Structure 1
């Protein structure tokens, strides 16, 4: 079985984690090509965190660049982000697998006091705005930039061929960027983390578009594994 190119477009550290999540029986059939399309660049902190009674984290990067929790409550999207927040001193609560689920959770619990949503410059879901309209005191605190990057030379070389290529895409912004800079490819197989990501893939006209059952890295890995093992490519 010829190895199938698998282009990984997440930031460098996240690509390595996702690659490790792929089962060994699948990894032997895959040629991993690391081509981050986003670069995470921290913003110099000029914020005052002393007045924040609670935090909201919709990404692991928000946790990495936020102040330590010191026992304060944090509402988190995703199990991994929740676990990371706990390791940074937050009394972290898993508030759902999606931003929508998190907003519902916070609205039901209605925490009192100042809430900071620590995020990147580009943020989806209007978390702070929607929760503020509902009467909570929520402020968005951008801690990092998500800078767009070009394809690596290896990824571009693969995309210029006509052999099957698998690409897992985790965010609408990355998917839209991929669609904007990728050459037309007749055998592009895309695994999208959500319907929002899939909607950003329309301009690619992929040979096949699979949406993960859950918006998690584990579900994405399972989709990639099934695609490779079934070899329903080409």
Structure 2
């Protein structure tokens, strides 16, 4: 029997990612959608700006339309989401470190606004401000924890291998509190995520070489194929 794919990424991104994995894998997978968080929009006043910083596509969803504003984006998927909403984009194609370096390399003259969640990493606005640029943070959404569904609890107590692509330390929380008898295979988007799982001693703990959805998909599919005995 194939392994079960566990998605703790919030909806709808978790569902969309599972669909891309299924297509790349080549046949139907059993998927347990167990989002660790619910995205809850927060009211905010948008400052006057020509430059917006995005560290996730989720933030783009909560932002006003671009109408020609410039968006400084952490990666390609975020940039594509911003372009779809009318922003002119720059993509760092990496992580928060790469994004800060990109903005500092071009040093826009007008103030920047980082539209982000209440819980965030990387201190992007603070680092840009320390480097001499004007950047403020607007909290546009909250990430509200969700209970672990019974389906995942039963799978964790079973014997079928579980493959969990984990996209953030916050979404990792949907797995860290569980006890597993089933073999757990974790694909982490960053070393920070991988570090959280080391005490659990999962059967597999891999970190992608580049923190984006394409690399997460490819490594997840490789793990699934390896477990099925069809690794290429």
Q: TM-score range by the shorter chain?
A: over 0.9
Residue 168 of structure 1: SS of its match in structure 2? strand
Query: For 1:195, which of 174, 180, 191 is the aligned residue?
Result: 191
Aligned residues: 229
Query: For 2:224, which of 220, 224, 228 is the aligned residue?
Result: 228
Residue 200 of structure 1: SS of its match in structure 2? helix
1:101-140 paired onto structure 2 within 5 Å: 101-140=98-137
Which residue number corresponds to residue 4 of structure 2?
5
CA distance in 1, matches of 2:182, 2:160: 8
Query: For 1:98, which of 71, 95, 98 is the aligned residue?
Result: 95
1:148 is the counterpart of 2:135:
no
CA distance in 1, matches of 2:104, 2:227: 44
| Contact 1:176–1:200 (8 Å) recurs in 2 | no
Q: Specify every segment of 5 or more residues in structure 1 that has no aligned partner in the other structure, as ranges.
A: none
CA distance in 2, matches of 1:100, 1:8: 26
Alpha carbons of 1:172 and 1:95: their partners in 2 closer, same or farther (altered >3 Å)?
same
| Contact 1:176–1:201 (8 Å) recurs in 2 | no
Report the TM-score, using the length of structure 1 for normalisation.
0.92
CA distance in 1, matches of 2:196, 2:203: 15
Which residue number corresponds to residue 77 of structure 2?
80
Moved over 3 A (4+): none
CA distance in 1, matches of 2:22, 2:28: 11
1:59 is the counterpart of 2:46:
no
Q: Specify every segment of 5 or more residues in structure 2 that has no aligned partner in the other structure, as ranges.
A: none
Structure 1 residue 177: deviation in Å? 4.8
Q: CA RMSD in A?
A: 1.7
Which residue number corresponds to residue 21 of structure 1?
20
Query: For 2:164, which of 163, 167, 181 is the aligned residue?
Result: 167
Report the TM-score, using the length of structure 2 for normalisation.
0.93
Structure 1 residue 24: deviation in Å? 3.4
